[in-house]
Amino acid sequence: MAKLKLAIYWGAACGGCCVSVLDTHEGLLDIVAAADLVFWPIALDVKYKDVEALPDQSIDLTLFNGAVRNSENKHMAQVLRKKSKILVAYGSCAYMGGIPGLANFFSREDIFKRAYDESESTLNPGRVRPVTKNVMKEGEIEIPEFFNDVYPLSQVVDVDYMIPGCPPQSSRLAEVFMAIVSGAPLPPKGTVVGALDKTNCDECKRKKSENKTIKRFYRPWEIEDDKETCFLEQGVICLGPATRSGCGVRCVEGNGPCRGCYGPPPGATDPGAKMMSAIGTMIDSNEPEEIDSIIEQIVDPAGLFYRFSLPGSILGRKLL
């Protein structure tokens, strides 16, 4: 059987998604037995011009991780879309914007001001800012344009599938990859693969009662977790009700609340809105003033409920 051609690329990413490919351990041997890696910047010295010169549709599968934050990310998303039969948004950042997407709470100018003028480690009396073109004595150099907004991959190019997670579980990647290699019929375009069709609460082994009520919210370090009872029932916000399962509820298994990296469950488009409505039903008061004071105990609600999903959510960004 002819080997598939596989590409892996990173946009605005931390590198964790690329590490998750290596974390397939011996599964990586199955992957390289079935596919030739034609492009993977973290591991192979293949130049952009080599990818640009490939015939269209000549890459069987591209895993694009990271969000689209600058003109280089966008250009490579467009090139890889053209060159690939199947383009997968791999990981939370490519899927919904991820942690880099939290920058959508600010403008480019806010970010430049903080980074180039105000940060404690910056000495920049001339208020120098990055420019995309610079003429040096050696010639003109060009750096990518930093966009005002961070985008999930699907807002820039057509995406075939999404594999969620920060990073995705390596075993899930191996399953998806081997399903593609086997030639089995693929799910409809736009399907979230490498995950399950339930919420994390459906999978969670912690004890939960039918009627959860909350009188006070705590941050995880403010309580002594009993390691058995649902975090929400202990007053700690856990995004299990608003998160697709498939990770093995690994944060809760490690005695930390879920932060929502697998994105919204089936039927929900906006994980933050789903979580806020779940919390709204649990607040144990009918008094408007008391309800307000309970809600005010939630620290950084926007960052908490949209930690991995702001650019791909209904909000998209903060209006400035």
Both tokens of 148, joined, read 């005002």
Q: Quick one: which of 8, 77, 103, 261 contacts ligand SF4 (CB under 6 A)?
A: 261
170 forms part of the interface with ligand SF4 (CB under 6 A): no
- Report d(CA 85, CA 83) in Å as an integer: 7
Give the integer Cα–Cα distance in Å for 28 and 37.
11
| For helices 170-182 and 27-34, angle between their N-to-C axes, nearest 10 degrees | 30
Q: Does 59 bind ligand SF4 (CB under 6 A)?
A: no
Give least dist CB 157 to ligand SF4, A. Answer: 25
Tell whether residue 214 is a contact of ligand SF4 (CB under 6 A). Answer: no
Position 232 contacts ligand SF4 (CB under 6 A): yes
Q: How far is the CB of 236 from ligand SF4 (least distance, A)?
A: 8
The answer to whether the CB of 64 falls within 8 A of the CB of 9 is: yes
- Residues in the interface with ligand SF4 (CB under 6 A) total 23
* Residue of the chain from 61, 68, 181, 249 that contacts ligand SF4 (CB under 6 A): 249
Give the one residue of 10, 64, 217, 231 binding ligand SF4; rule: CB under 6 A: 231
Helix, strand or coil for residue 299? Answer: coil
User: Which residues in 165-196 are b (16+ Cβ under 10 Å) and which e?
Assistant: bbbbbbebbbebbeebbeeeeeeeeeebbbbb
Min dist CB 267 to ligand SF4, Å, is 17
Choice from 85, 208, 219, 273 touching ligand SF4 (CB under 6 A): 208
| 63 lies in the binding site for ligand SF4 (CB under 6 A) | no
Q: Is 4 in the site for ligand SF4 (CB under 6 A)?
A: no
Q: Which of 3, 47, 114, 250 binds ligand SF4 (CB under 6 A)?
A: 250
Least distance (Å) from ligand SF4 to the CB of residue 178? 22
Which residues, 6 or more positions from 313, have their beta carbon under 8 angstroms from its beta carbon? 96, 269, 270, 271, 272, 273, 306
Candidate list 13, 89, 93, 238; residue touching ligand SF4; CB under 6 A: 238
Applying CB under 6 A, among 204, 214, 279, 294 the residue interacting with ligand SF4 is 204
Contact 56, 82 (CB under 8 A): yes
Interatomic CA distance for residues 174 and 189, integer angstroms: 19
Please tell me the distance from the alpha carbon of residue 150 to that of residue 77, in angstroms, as a whole number.
Answer: 14
Asked if 305 interacts with ligand SF4 (CB under 6 A), we say no
Stretch that binds ligand SF4, among 93-101, 150-158, 239-247, 265-273 (CB under 6 A): 239-247
**Closest Cα to residue 31, out of 55, 56, 58, 8?**
8
In terms of Cα–Cα distance, which of 190, 163, 156 is closest to 78? 156
Q: Residue 141 pairs with which residues in a beta bridge?
A: 134
Does 69 sit near ligand SF4 (CB under 6 A)? no
Output the smallest distance, CB 204 to ligand SF4, in A: 3
Does the footprint of ligand SF4 cover residue 172 (CB under 6 A)? no
Residue 179 tokens read as 């399903």
Using rule CB under 6 A, residue 247 touches ligand SF4: yes
Which member of 157, 258, 268, 294 binds ligand SF4 (CB under 6 A)?
258
Q: Taking the CB of residue 18, how many other CB atoms lie within 10 A of it?
A: 23
Q: What are the residues binding ligand SF4 (CB under 6 A)?
A: 200-201, 204, 206, 208, 230-232, 238, 240-241, 243, 247, 249-252, 257-262
